[in-house]
A = this chain, B = another copy of it.
């Protein structure tokens, strides 16, 4: 019973088996996909016994659901405040682009996995969760666009398509960075490369949309 003086953990070893399973599963799901990952792999990677997966999460899919819920929770929180600020529409848009790029590029693997799940739409529960989380961001983006259009700072545009351009551009960069910059050997796991790609992406999108939305026809 926890010897005196609180011996927390020994080195950095197994803080929590439950969390270890989540961490290992997320890594593996990102790398090899849901179907491509076996419970035995999760067991090995996490150091937990196979039975613990079902003990804690009921099933392999239960682990997946848990991971997605954890990540998706608090998705819109940081972005929502942007729309409260007393700043111009164009400034709001620029901040949203930066915030969106930051989040997506902070965990490219997970974003890839999310998109695989969305494109497969096998597990309806997950599909709807992802869809809802995304639609939160879309509503925010749309509001910024329509507000800007109403006060005359943005010209009229196909806002749905504008949103598709913002999200699509960032997703495209995350999924195929080599395509974007084939002349270098860029690696999204390298923090330096990641920052460079993010800066380029943000600068491009901000420039693109500023020019597009504020140019008099």
Residues of A within 8 A of B (CB): 32-33, 35-36, 112, 115-116, 118-120, 122, 131, 134-135, 138, 157-158, 160-165, 167-173, 175-176, 178-182, 200-201, 203-205, 207-208, 211-212, 215
A74 to chain B, nearest CB (A): 20
Across the interface, do A158 and B203 meet the contact criterion of CB distance under 8 Å? yes
A185 to chain B, nearest CB (A): 14
- How many copies of this protein are present in the complex? 2
Give the docked Cα–Cα distance between A82 and B203 (Å).
30
Across the interface, do A122 and B161 meet the contact criterion of CB distance under 8 Å? no
* Chain B residues, Cβ within 8 Å of A205: 161, 165
A137 to chain B, nearest CB (A): 10
A159 to chain B, nearest CB (A): 10
* Chain B residues, Cβ within 8 Å of A164: 169, 172-173, 179-180, 201
A-side interface mostly:
helix
9 smallest CB-CB distances across A and B, nearest first, come from A168-B172, A168-B168, A35-B35, A161-B204, A168-B169, A112-B119, A165-B169, A164-B172, A35-B36
Q: Which of B160, B168, B180, B212 sits near A171, CB closer than 8 Å?
A: B168
Q: Which of B172, B180, B182, B215 sits near A215, CB closer than 8 Å?
A: B215
Give the docked Cα–Cα distance between A9 and B205 (Å).
54
* Chain B residues, Cβ within 8 Å of A33: 33, 35, 120, 122
Given A164-B169, A211-B211, decide whether A176 and B36 contact each other with a Cβ distance below 8 A: no
* Chain B residues, Cβ within 8 Å of A157: 204, 207
* Chain B residues, Cβ within 8 Å of A211: 211-212, 215
